[in-house]
């Protein structure tokens, strides 16, 4: 789910660009829309995590179900894609 949300933010809302044309307000706006309906998991901070998650692991089929969200958060701090993939 987190990966799918990150993908949607990056690809659809940002058009695949590093930043949305309208800047940082995008994440805040999405959070304002989702948090009241679905809870605090959709805070701006978490939405940024979801987007970063997708950027670090762009191939969903390569993901491992044995790894938790915490594992993936630890892995994305590794700068090298090769090391992260290993």
Residue 6 neighbours by CB under 8 Å, 6+ apart? 49, 50, 51, 52, 53, 54, 55
Q: pLDDT tens for residues 4-31?
A: 998 988 887 776 666 655 556 788 888 9
> 């670090």: which residue's tokens?
56
pLDDT the model gives residue 24:
60
Burial (CB < 10 A; 0-12, 13-18, 19+), residue 54, is buried
pLDDT the model gives residue 47:
92
Q: pLDDT tens for residues 64-82?
A: 888 888 888 888 888 888 8
pLDDT exceeding 90 applies to what percent of the chain? 21
pTM: 0.76
């Amino acid at each position: 789910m987190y990966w799918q949300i990150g993908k949607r933010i990056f690809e659809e809302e940002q058009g695949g660009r590093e930043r949305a044309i309208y800047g940082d307000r995008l994440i805040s706006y999405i959070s304002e829309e989702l948090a009241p309906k679905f809870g605090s998991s959709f805070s701006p901070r978490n939405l940024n995590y979801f987007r970063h998650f997708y950027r670090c692991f762009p191939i969903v089929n390569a993901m491992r179900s044995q790894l938790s969200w915490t594992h993936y958060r630890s892995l994305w701090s590794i700068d090298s894609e090769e090391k992260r993939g290993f």
